[in-house]
Structure 1
Amino acid sequence: MPKSALDKDLKKVGRLEDATQALSRSIAAPGLAILFLIAIFLFMSGLAPVGPLSLFVIAGGVIAGYMALNIGANDVANNMGPAVGSRALPLGAALVIAAICEAAGAILAGGDVVNTISKDIIVPHDEFDVRDFVMLMMASFLAAAIWIHLATYLNAPVSTTHSIVGGVLGAGIAAAGFSIVNWPTMGAIAASWVISPVMGGLIAAALLGFVKWQVLFREDRVSAARRWVPVLIGLMAGVFTMYLALKGLKHIYHPSTATVWLLGLAAFALGTLATRPWVVRRAATLENRRKHVAGLFTLPLIFAAALLSFAHGANDVANAVGPLAAIVAAAETGHASTGNVTLPLWVLMIGALGISLGLALFGPRLIRTVGTKITKMDAPRAYCVALAAAITVLIASALGLPVSSTHIAIGGVFGVGFLREQLANLGLRADGPKPPKPSPNEPSSLSATPEDAIRKQIKREKRRLVRRRHVVTIAAAWVITVPAAGGLAAIFYGLLKTLVDF
């Protein structure tokens, strides 16, 4: 029976309403971001010190807000992506937890002092004009923000620290030539492009291998979980205690190395003992199935993701507002400073609000990329990625190696993905060795051994459990981050110099 004209018209109206809602959502996020930047402009207009550099301070505040929005949209996905991809957290809850923890880390532990030139990338001479210094910081800041914005649009998680390094490098060379650059520091940063993802991937794969062979591949998974899951949670407690003491709270607490180790060991012991009764109670209701046992990692994973977000807010708020602090200090003192300057609370607030708002408005897209599009995640895999990120930072800090938290987290995701791929190609499924299928010409008692099944599996076509195109896209974005941000910064510095001197 043909549909009536009324039914067809109603369907057209429904499609129009859906299209209108989708359009309104796509417009709402940029609109709210613009309102946020307008609010910063008005706030900075009433706060900027009176003087020849007041307009630069106002513009710097707006650029800082834009940078914070982009950090929230890109960088925070590394912490929450695996948790969302494993379905330990729905996207909405992840956004709320990350926003709260990022803001809390930025405001409570963001510190009152920040290095203005991002790890001494440039060392300007004493005669360096303060106005040129302010323009250098603005150009590098704006270039880094635009590059991160572009990378987010392309679904490529990049290092915000490296973006700023590239911006400062490019603008510094444009302002004073190659002699201004601290090349040994740049060499160490370039080495971190390889060190960070490799360390993160190897440690995450090692942790996942331990979980698989000690728990998930065991015949009695429940008994194995009762034994090892409290230990793994205790390890998380110890590692994150050390991580927060060294990194997340470094601006307000400076413990000695011995104190950090004592805190870590105490947290490991307390975490193991405190969570064992909880694990035993949960295990008593579980079936001896991988999916049920893997659920024991869900709650620890949520805590790990929240702690990573707190530490990220404490550390990376300086990336969002550090150059703004340098501009404000230069405007107030009349001198270009490459040392430490005061980071006022209102500057921290701009960074904290911008990161949280950028995460809420633009973060979901990259969270899905990190959590679902590189490799399939579950709670144990995501837990290993989060724990590996903290362990890698601790090891790198102890060795004095410069590493990127973004590269570590993404390297961890690739690490667990490639381990899964290798195990699958060896005939090892998530539940352990794949049982052999009985031959149709032989009785089941004479069927092939597990070793025969593994050999047959190896001969088959290799399985691909990691999407290679994301490997290429992300690696390319990492490699070109510093030169791309540097090139943009050099262009922006030249434009600013021309406009100001005109």
Structure 2
Amino acid sequence: MIEVIIYLSSGLFLGWSLGANDAANIFGTAVGSKMVKFSTAALIMTVFVILGSVVSGAGASHTLGALGQVGTLPAAFVVAFAAAVAVSWMTKLSLPVSTSHSIVGGIIGWNLYSGYATDLSVLREIVGAWIFSPVLSAFFAVVLYFAFRKWLNNARVHLLHLDFYTRWGLLVVGAFGAYSLGANNIANVMGVFTGIMEIPAYNLSIFSFSGAQQLFLLGGIAISVGVVTYSKRVMLTVGSNIMDISPIGAFIVVLASSTTLFVFASAGLKDFLMMLGLPSFPLVPVSSSQAVVGAVLGLGLAKGGRNINFKLLGKIGVGWVLTPITAAVISFFLLFFMQNVFIRSVV
């Protein structure tokens, strides 16, 4: 039992890193624009990211499983630990990077060490979603900006009422974003463990928690701890340093990025689109960092491209590229030590 807890600790460490970095971006613009207090944002994130993880967290985990079938607990420990170290390093640099990038890098590191062939079609699907998600988020932000501008020009809302509506709107879409983040990104935190550990279902009088949901609950709690303890620094990088954002702009960015996360997390939406014969989005863990940065950039372009900190955007882009490479390298070398020094099977 103690050994199992030790192995799971790397997933919890990764969850903490996600909370400190990725999850903070849901409320980054709201906190950066001083419309929502950090303490309020952290509380809402804590509740809804756990709900999203437990209720809707299963979908995206299947994609990661198809990328690389990590088969032992020591190997899963190393993959999650390598991903967490990569994200923590980038967080230390105040860069909003992605646990989605890092866990994929960790899995590929395991594939290279074990000789397991990486499914290139699955990898293309994941990378394609990474590329498309910030573009989609920017598109949503542009559409929302012009829609809200038209509404404000016609509605003649009093400034005090507008301030009130904006604050509550930020809280509502932040809760929606936190739920979507938990549903989409919990696969990064606990996905490598769900196919290995056989945990019996826990039955209550009304609800039944599967073994995977119990792991997702632990991961959701770890994410929440990361939000509370270490996320404020990255919130301010996203919320105020890329460009100056008004309160309404903050609302647009949060809604656009949250909608993007939901699109890649909702099995119900995917089934609905397929039923209508329409193209659907893959259930892939995408980056909340990329989504929110894409939304901020889209908002800036809708306003004419003024005041965007392109130098910082370039630095963030470098972080996105380095994260999976760093995680893959760390994973490969740590697997060697786990196999040959600690004499634990990783294949």
Query: Which bin holds the TM-score, normalised by the shorter protein?
Result: 0.7 to 0.9
SS at 2:67 equivalent: coil
Correspondence 1:299 to 2:168: yes
Q: State which of 283, 291, 302 in structure 2 corresponds to 1:419.
A: 302
Tell me, what secondary structure is at the counterpart of 2:134?
helix
Question: Is 1:473 the equivalent of 2:325?
Answer: no
1:194-213 matched pairs, under 5 angstroms: 194-212=131-149
2:244 aligns with one of 376, 380, 390: 376
Alignment-derived partner of residue 183 in structure 2: 314
- For these two proteins, the number of residue pairs brought into alignment is 319
Gaps of 5+ in 2: 200-209, 265-269, 271-278
Counterpart-to-counterpart distance in 2, 1:302 and 1:143: 34
Partner of 1:106: 53
Question: Superposition pairs for residues 414-493 of structure 1, below 5 Å?
Answer: 414-422=297-305, 464-493=306-335
Which residue of structure 2 lines up, in the alignment, with residue 150 of structure 1? 89
In the alignment, what sits opposite 2:35?
88
Measured against aligned partners, the alpha-carbon deviations of 1:313-353 in whole angstroms (never above 9, x if no partner) come to 233223222223344349xxxxxxxxxx94152x3342122
Partner of 2:192: 323
Counterpart amino acid of residue 338 in structure 2: L
| Secondary structure of the corresponding residue to residue 343 of structure 1 | helix
CA contact (8 A) 1:225 1:293 kept: no
- Shift of the 172–418 alpha-carbon distance from structure 1 to 2, 3 Å rule, reads same
Q: Which residue of 2 aligns with 1:497?
A: 339
Q: RCO (CA 8 Å, sep 6+): is it higher in 1 or 2?
A: 2
Give distance in 1, aligned partners of 2:38 and 2:110.
Answer: 38
Partner of 1:163: 102
Q: Is 1:386–2:254 an aligned residue pair?
A: yes
Query: CA 1:359 to 1:467, structure 2 compared with 1: closer, same or farther past 3 Å?
Result: same
| Aligned residue number for residue 118 of structure 1 | 64
Q: 1:225 aligns with which of 152, 155, 165?
A: 155
Offset from partner CA, 1:121-170 (integer Å, 9 cap, x none): 1258xxxxx5xx33332221111011111111111112212211110111
Alpha-carbon contact 1:420-1:465 (below 8 Å) kept: no
3-state DSSP of counterpart to 2:66? coil
TM-score by length of 2: 0.82
Indicate conservation of the 8 Å contact 1:200/1:389, yes or no.
yes
Superposition map of 1:263-282 within 5 A: none
Whole-Å Cα distance in 2 between the matches of residues 136 and 117 of structure 1? Answer: 18
Distance 1:309 1:106 in 2: 10
Cα gap change, 1:156/1:302 in structure 2, threshold over 3 Å: closer, same or farther? Answer: same
RMSD, matched Cα? 2.7
Give the aligned partner of residue 348 of structure 1.
216
Q: 272, 285, 290: which is aligned to 1:407?
A: 290
> Secondary structure of the residue that 1:328 maps to in structure 2?
coil
Is the alpha carbon distance of 1:293 and 1:58 closer, same or farther for their aligned partners in structure 2, counting shifts above 3 Å? Answer: closer
Q: Map 1:183-198 to 2 at 5 A.
A: 183-198=120-135
Q: What is the letter of the counterpart of residue 420 of structure 1?
A: K
Residue 272 of structure 1: aligned partner = none
Alpha-carbon distance, 1:478 to partner: 1.2
Question: CA 1:114 to 1:315, structure 2 compared with 1: closer, same or farther past 3 Å?
Answer: closer
User: SS at 2:107's partner residue?
Assistant: helix
Matches of residues 283-298 of structure 1 in structure 2 within 5 Å?
A: 283=157, 286=158, 293=162, 296-298=165-167
Q: Counterpart of 2:132 in structure 1: which amino acid?
A: I
After superposition, residues 4-15 of structure 1 pair within 5 angstroms as none
Q: Partner amino acid for 2:251? A: Y
TM-score, normalised via structure 1 length: 0.58
Does residue 140 (structure 1) correspond to residue 79 (structure 2)? The answer is yes
